[in-house]
Chains A and B, each alone.
Chain A
Amino acid sequence: MADGSIGLWTVPLAVLGGAIRVSTPFLFVSLGECITERSGRINLGLEGTLVMGAMSAYGISYLTGSPWLGVLAAGITGALLGALHAGICSLPRVNDIAVGIALMLFGTGLAFYLGKPLIEPTAPRLPAIDFGWWSDIPQVRAALRVNVLFLIGVALAPILYWAFRTTRWGLLIRTAGESSDAARAMGHSVLLIRLRATMVGGFLAGIGGSFLSLFYPGSWNEGLSSGQGITAVALVIFARWDPMLCLWASLAFGGAAALGPALQSVGVTSGYHLFNAAPYILTLAIMIITCSPKRTLTGAPAELSITR
């Protein structure tokens, strides 16, 4: 122990560290998508939003020198993409899933296009808070270097849980998601509610993207998010549209995603690619276990096209 070698303990430690570090984008995207889906619409385009968020955060952080401005820019970019999604979906006879696929391709393409000059330079990164100061073991300290965005995300989950239950906005979003007729009868515009819900969802997903480029892995390249956005969308389904469950599921996913690199660091390299696919396999497995053809999922917003 004294020489800093902790042998196989590296693996669970790295998984724990991963659960904290890697889970943040999952957390933000799934919370954002949770809001959007509760309003009765699904936005599959958050994969593109995540990548656009990562790119714009990195670009703005590089240009202004302030990573927090980068985070804000990522959120605004995400909200704009959300507005685009909601705007197209407001047209009659337009399928929201298809629009999501389109924006997934558009967002990634645009991010790659605009991000070409950003692959080389280094942008200022987000600061981290050291929760591992009490330990001498470098791996423990590395695992407990926590980013502020993670803490914000963790705090956001119970806030959203509370907001859905008790606030006027939460009730409006849920009404639009359960029965658009009821919302209309109350004199509210369903399209407007969904527009706002999708924009807020995009804002959060964009921030999730900023975490990717500004903290971990902490650089901009085209392979930054391969499917993390879509995994997070799937995660909302088995989190039963419950923000608190989104939090736990995101942590589990972060841990699963950290498994591959963790095993590699102790010399297990044979199944590297398969372990890297662990989050996708886990998502699929959990969806297989929790979905059922006989009943609609408990907690599913009735207006949601994906549960039909």
Chain B
Amino acid sequence: MTTEAADSTEAAGTIASAAGPGFFQRHGATIEYILIPGAALAGALVVFGIFVAMFGKNPLDLYFYMYYGAFGTWFSWQNTLTRAAPLILTALCTALPAQLGMVIIGGEGALLIGALSATSAALALQGMPPLVVQIAMVIGGVVGGGLWIMLSGALRQYRGVNETISSLLLVYIALAILNHLVEGLMRDPASLNKPSTREIGAANMIGSIPGTDVHWGLVFGLIAAIAAYVLIYHTVFGFAARVTGGNIRAAKIVGLGVSKLILTICFLAGGAAGLAGMVEVAAVQGRTNANLAAGYGFTGILVAFLARQNPLAIIPVAILLGGISASGGLLQRRLGLPDASVLVLQGIIFVFVLASDALYGRIGFLKGKS
């Protein structure tokens, strides 16, 4: 987002202007990045509590079950981490293009296409050693999802088509392609009620991290997030991307290849979401069907914004939102709340987080001088 750069320069300015910088002033920007989203989250939880109270439920019960269902036991922790894995990856799909000032919200589409191409790779390589199949699935997922979002980037760069709208339209097109293929060409004749592709085979599943029920997808997500962080903040390429995001005209004047940057970043972004699709197939579903459109792509947008598009911050935020969705089942069973309550809470959080953008650089005690 373009406001990002403005924020950080402004924050830097306030630090420099401080006469005798104390701890709060010196770390003002960092504290703001934790304090403000934290406050937004707390505000959203209060509003959601009031909302639920209007339906005659006790908000304290709500908070307790949310905590219990998300982080209360080892079982719920595992559930939370399993859900966080695809969220980290789909959040990267929004956060990486955001460095260029692009708003991509089509992670769900890249996830579906990634899942389809990973499944196709696995089905084509049946009989090969599992490691070969798994590597092929990773490549298939990344390339499939990557090309899908790269299409949005290319349309933006070469045709001036708004990338937010095109990426969202591509979600619906991806879903149509998926439904078309699993009900036609790729359908397993044995899947009657729920049209699906054939299974990729138990041997080819990526399995769980030893000692847990959490699948290896979490490790994929962590590696991807750290790699994205290094790429954006510690390489020349990432620096060029951030310059472009800050001021595209300046980037062109200093001779940065803007087209190449856009296409590469969009490919990596879509690749991350495609990898999420691959993980969902290879670790959870075992096949491709419409179950994959579970909304991870859309929640990923929220994760990216709550993390202020920072790849490292995505990790804790994804765990937090993974926890919220993990607690959905418990809220349904114990409080009788509809499953959509998680969606409502996510929407409220999103609204609060965006509104809190107005607070940056305005908190008195972080500014140094009043």
**Is A109 within 8 A of B344, CB to CB?**
yes
Q: Is the CB of B161 within 8 A of A288?
A: yes
Q: Does A63 contact B (CB under 8 A)?
A: no
**Known contacts being A227-B168, A292-B160, is A110 close to B347, with CB within 8 Å?**
yes
Task: Confirm or deny: B74 has a beta carbon within 8 angstroms of a beta carbon on chain A.
Answer: no
A43 interface residue (CB < 8 Å to B): no
Within B181-208, the residues touching A (CB, 8 Å) are 183-184
Chain A residues whose C-beta falls within 8 Å of the C-beta of B176 in the assembled complex: 273-274, 276-277, 280
Contacting residues, chain A, for B103 (C-beta < 8 A):
95, 97-98, 101
Q: Is the interface of A mostly helix, strand, loop or mixed?
A: helix
Q: In the bound complex, do residue A84 and residue B1 qualify as a contact, i.e. CB atoms below 8 Å apart?
A: no
One of A93, A101, A108, A231 near B358 (C-beta < 8 A): A93
A44 near B354 (CB under 8 angstroms)? no
Provided the pairs A101-B301, A230-B168 are in contact, do residues A95 and B1 lie with their beta carbons within 8 angstroms?
yes
Instruction: Tell me which residues across on chain A come within 8 A of B341, comparing CB atoms.
Output: 113
Q: Which A residues are CB-close (under 8 A) to B345?
A: 109
The 0/1 profile, CB within 8 Å of B marked 1, for residues 92-130 of chain A is: 111101110111011111101100100000000000000
Q: A106-B347, A107-B347, A287-B166 are in contact. Are A277 and B172 (CB under 8 A)?
A: yes
Complex interface: chain A residues within 8 A of B169 (CB): 227, 230-231, 234, 280, 283-284
CB-defined contacts of B159 to chain A, threshold 8 Å: 287-288, 291-293
Instruction: Give the complex CA separation of A237 and B302 in angstroms.
Output: 26
For A226, give its contact among B172, B301, B338, B360 (CB under 8 Å): B172
Determine if B241 is an interface residue (Cβ-Cβ < 8 Å): no
Decide yes or no whether A306 CB sits under 8 A from chain B.
yes
Residue A271 at the B interface, CB < 8 A? yes
Q: Is the CB of A109 within 8 A of B343?
A: yes
Beta-carbon contact of B302 and A105 below 8 Å: yes
**CB-based closest 4 A-B pairs:** A106-B347, A109-B343, A277-B176, A112-B340
Give me the interface of B with A, judged by CB distance under 8 Å: 1, 3, 6-7, 103, 105, 155, 157-162, 164-166, 168-173, 175-177, 179-180, 183-184, 298, 301-302, 305, 338, 340-348, 350-351, 353-355, 357-358, 360
Q: A92-B358, A271-B180, A287-B166 are in contact. List 6 more A-B contacts (CB 8 A).
A: A98-B305, A98-B354, A106-B344, A106-B347, A227-B168, A294-B160
A–B complex contacts, Cβ < 8 Å, 7 sampled: A102-B354, A106-B346, A106-B350, A110-B347, A280-B172, A288-B155, A292-B160
